Amino acid sequence: MDHSVPHDVGRELAKKATLAAFDSYATKYSEYEPRATWISDYTAKVAMHIKGMSLDGTIDVRDRDIALTLDVPFVLRPFRAKALAVIEREISAWLVRARAGEFT
């Protein structure tokens, strides 16, 4: 895995937080056309477009962390760390809200 975001809220609540985080990300960064397609209960394929190129990856909600992978074309590699950091920040913010009882 490229990166993971630890959590202590349980898998179901972590998935709800991940869904909310991705929705928030998709709204804030709509110019990149982010989209997520859930291929199983806890795994989503994600994609976005930057500078006319596609970035593809996965989000896997696990028992104690949310694993992120992101395949980036060579020319966009400088953006990879930033993209992962932004995604992690969104997920972490929504995990805080999940711990506060925002999701039931």
State which residues form the domain around 17.
Answer: 3-99
Residue 104 in any domain: the answer is no
> For the domain that residue 77 is a member of, what is the CATH number?
3.30.310
Residue 60 in any domain: the answer is yes
More confident residue, 45 or 73: 45
Which of 5-14, 63-72, 76-85 is the least confident region? 76-85
pLDDT at 43: 98
pLDDT at 12: 95
More confident residue, 51 or 58: 58
Q: Report the domain count for the chain.
A: 1
Region 35-58: mean pLDDT is 91
Residue 1 has pLDDT above 60, yes or no: no
Q: What is the 3-state secondary structure (H, E, C) of the chain?
A: CCEEEECCCCHHHHHHHHHHHHHHHHHHCHHHCCEEEECCCCEEEEEEEECCEEEEEEEEECCCEEEEEEECCHHHHHHHHHHHHHHHHHHHHHHHHHHCCCCC
